[in-house]
């Protein structure tokens, strides 16, 4: 059969799109969801086994549906976790909320469209009868649809050094995907750990280590040694920002934002004022300025924009003060094997080489922004000319309606939801933005059915 809509992926973007489609499509319509995620609907972010891993967006902004903003807070209350809209819930609970929201929509069997969940990995594409696009699955089957939504996430960044010279035993102590938390059980309490990358993933992993009874030392190495900043419990109101009045050159723009931060008394006010306008600001920037932003301002943007819950930050600060964790800034050059692993790096701003000895190396360098590199399916789709890589390495080219431009006017239209569309929208990593995009894409598909 040919489905009206085929969703590829099974994380938040996919489930948000499905929920909206179930609400919008007629009973006669059909949807297939292809996903290889063991916790269908949770993706990397919300399938954590640790209750202490918290959301980095307040509960009041995490509803699946933009037009029902209290839905997640209501769910928390109904499940005896009475948090306020400004509190930071557990990511595990958020995973359960997504599952429950989808289940509630699917229960209504009589008046909803057909939804088939297919647990498989999509490996390639083939054009089918009537212009539909078919996806080849790793279980040997094929699923075809007239509207396609790619919700593949962006994958983990790979380590920037060659590890092929390390023995198998040493390689087993390099954790390339920290989200498989089973590695924590192999660490001895007094071991030493070097975490590469100093963003939100690093904080999550450090918390998880110490929660497992770890008493050794953690050394964090990242290019600039910048760590995420904290939310505050009672934020001041966001500042009003007129994006049209902001300068187009990156250096002048950053100067204005710094000046306004000082004027506003708390830089969070300017970041919160910018947040709903960032997509418009990005749209107005010429390519050269976007490149400049990515080259020079990205680490600063990340630590101010992607903040941690206040009490998580306090716990992390305590570990820094006690010396359990130390942070160094430098460029990793090489990883060598001796009694332990030795990481050679060039400290930031110096020509000399320094080193860190550690029993374990953990890759927390974050998301792979060049989305096409991490996905065999996307590489194959590009080879077939179905999609185009974003020139800044930010995923795939889509238009302002999240459509692959090449598919417009064809019998099958391909949409993309989530961080793979960062080249068009930039601010499209977190739930408040993805849920809007999912709604818009579902509406566009409903118009075609
Ligand atoms: C650790 C972490 C914490 C975060 N915390 C927050 C937060 O507190 N608040 C917030 O708003 N945002 C948070 N985010 C951002 C988060 O990325 C988004 O909220 C959202 O989860 C992204 O979902 P996604 O579906 O786009 O991607 P993913 O969650 O990565 O899901 C993509 C899915 O597609 C599947 N897939 C990929 N390729 C194929 C294929 N070929 N065939 C079949 N299936 C495939 C993958 O297995 C995966 O399940 C966090 C992100 C991370 C990594």
Q: What tens-digit pLDDT sequence spans the chain (449 residues)?
A: 899 999 999 999 999 999 999 999 999 999 999 998 877 778 888 988 788 899 999 999 999 999 999 999 999 999 999 899 999 999 999 999 999 999 999 998 778 999 999 999 999 999 877 788 999 999 999 999 999 999 999 877 888 888 989 999 999 999 988 888 888 999 999 999 999 999 999 999 999 999 999 999 999 999 999 999 999 999 999 998 888 888 889 889 989 988 988 888 899 999 999 999 999 999 999 999 999 999 999 989 999 999 999 999 999 999 999 999 999 999 999 999 988 999 999 999 999 999 999 999 999 987 756 568 889 999 999 999 999 999 998 999 999 999 999 877 778 999 999 999 999 999 999 999 999 999 999 999 999 98
Reading the block at residue 13, the tokens are 């973007």
Nearest-10 Cα torsion for 152, 421, 313, 216: 50
CB distance 56 to ligand 1 below 6 Å = yes
Task: Locate the DSSP E strands across 197-312.
Answer: 218-222
Nearest-CA residue for atom 30 of ligand 1: 153
Which residue, judged by its Cα, is nearest atom 47 of ligand 1? Answer: 37
Closest protein CA for atom 16 of ligand 1: 430
Please tell me the predicted confidence (pLDDT) of residue 372: 83
Radius of gyration of the chain (CA): 23
What pLDDT sits at residue 410?
79
Does the CB atom of residue 358 touch ligand 1 within 6 A? Answer: no
Q: Which residues pair with 7 in a beta bridge?
A: 33, 149
pLDDT at position 370: 54
Cβ-based burial of 292 (10 A; exposed 0-12, middle 13-18, buried ≥19)? middle
Provide the token pair at 384: 């077939």
Q: Map residue 378 onto helix, strand or coil.
A: helix
Domains and CATH numbers, the chain: 2-155+368-448 (3.50.50.60), 168-229+307-363 (3.50.50.60), 243-305 (no CATH)
Does residue 152 line the site of ligand 1, with CB under 6 A?
yes
Distance (Å, whole) CA 106 – CA 93: 20
Tell me how far apart the alpha carbons of residues 39 and 46 are, in angstroms, rounded to a whole number: 9
> What is the per-residue pLDDT for 369?
61
Which of 13, 44, 69 should be mutated for ligand 1, with most atoms under 8 A from CB?
44
Stated as kind and residue range, the H or E segment containing 95 is helix 91-107
Index of the ligand 1 atom closest to the CA of residue 43? 29
- What single string gives the DSSP state of each residue in 102-123? HHHHHH-GGGS-EEEEEES-EE
The atom number, within ligand 1, closest to the CA of 121 reads 42
Query: Ligand 1 mean position to 116 CA, how many Å?
Result: 20
- Ligand 1 contact via 425 beta carbon (within 6 Å): no
Q: What is the pLDDT of residue 305?
A: 92
Whether the CB of 420 sits within 6 Å of ligand 1? no
Question: Relative to the CA of 375, which ligand 1 atom is closest?
Answer: 38
Which of ligand 1's atoms lies nearest the C-alpha of 54? 8
**Ligand 1 atom with least separation from CA of 56:** 8
Q: Is the CB of 377 under 6 A from ligand 1?
A: yes
8 Å CB contact between 308 and 317: no
Question: Does ligand 1 have an atom closer than 6 angstroms to the CB of 398?
Answer: no
Q: Does residue 36's CB lie within 6 angstroms of at least one atom of ligand 1?
A: yes
Task: Find out whether 281 and 274 touch, Cβ atoms under 8 Å.
Answer: yes
Q: Using DSSP, state whether 219 is helix, strand or coil.
A: strand
Distances (CA, A) of 273 to 239, 266, 276: 5, 12, 7
Beta strands 122-127 and 133-137 are antiparallel
Give, in order, the Cα–Cα distances in Å from 335 to each of 2, 162, 176, 222, 341: 50, 8, 13, 15, 7
d(CA 172, CA 49): 22
């Amino acid at each position: 059969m040919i489905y009206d809509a085929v969703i590829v992926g099974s994380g938040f973007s996919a489930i948000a799109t499905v929920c909206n489609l179930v609400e919008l499509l007629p009973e006669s319509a059909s949807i297939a969801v292809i996903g290889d995620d063991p916790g269908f609907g949770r993706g990397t972010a919300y399938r954590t086994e640790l209750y202490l891993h918290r959301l980095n967006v307040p509960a009041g902004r995490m509803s699946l549906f933009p037009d029902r903003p209290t839905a997640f807070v209501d769910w928390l209350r109904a499940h005896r976790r009475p948090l306020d809209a400004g509190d930071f819930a557990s990511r595990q609970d958020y995973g359960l909320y997504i599952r429950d929201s989808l289940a509630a929509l699917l229960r209504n069997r009589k008046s909803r469209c057909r939804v088939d969940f297919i647990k498989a990995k999509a490996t390639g594409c083939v054009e089918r009868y009537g212009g539909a696009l078919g996806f080849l699955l790793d279980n040997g089957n094929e699923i075809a649809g007239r509207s396609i939504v790619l919700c593949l996430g962006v994958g983990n960044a790979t380590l920037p050094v060659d590890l092929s010279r390390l023995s198998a035993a040493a390689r087993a102590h390099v954790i390339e995907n920290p989200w498989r938390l089973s590695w924590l059980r192999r660490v001895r309490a007094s071991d030493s750990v070097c975490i590469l990358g100093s963003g939100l993933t690093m904080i999550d992993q450090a918390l998880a280590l110490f929660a497992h009874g770890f008493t050794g030392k953690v050394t964090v190495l990242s290019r600039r040694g910048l760590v995420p900043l904290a939310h505050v419990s009672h934020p001041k109101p966001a500042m009003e920002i007129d994006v049209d009045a902001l300068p187009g050159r990156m250096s002048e723009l950053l100067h204005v934002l710094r000046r306004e931060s000082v004027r506003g008394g708390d830089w969070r006010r300017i970041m919160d004022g910018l947040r709903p306008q960032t997509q418009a600001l990005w749209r107005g920037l010429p390519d050269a300025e976007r490149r400049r932003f990515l080259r020079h301002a990205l680490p600063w943007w990340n630590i101010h924009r992607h903040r941690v819950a206040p009490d998580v930050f306090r716990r992390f600060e305590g570990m820094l003060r006690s010396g359990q964790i130390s942070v160094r800034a430098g460029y990793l050059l090489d990883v060598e094997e001796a009694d332990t692993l030795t990481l050679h790096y060039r400290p930031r701003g110096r020509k000399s080489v320094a080193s860190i000895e550690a029993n374990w190396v953990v890759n927390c360098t974050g998301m792979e922004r060049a989305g096409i590199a991490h996905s065999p399916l996307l590489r194959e789709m590009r080879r077939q000319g179905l999609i185009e890589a974003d020139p800044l390495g930010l995923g795939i080219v889509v238009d302002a309606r999240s459509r692959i431009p090449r598919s417009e006017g064809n019998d099958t239209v391909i949409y993309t939801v989530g961080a793979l569309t960062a080249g068009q929208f930039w601010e499209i990593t977190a739930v408040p933005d993805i849920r809007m995009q999912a709604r818009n894409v579902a509406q566009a598909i409903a118009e075609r059915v």
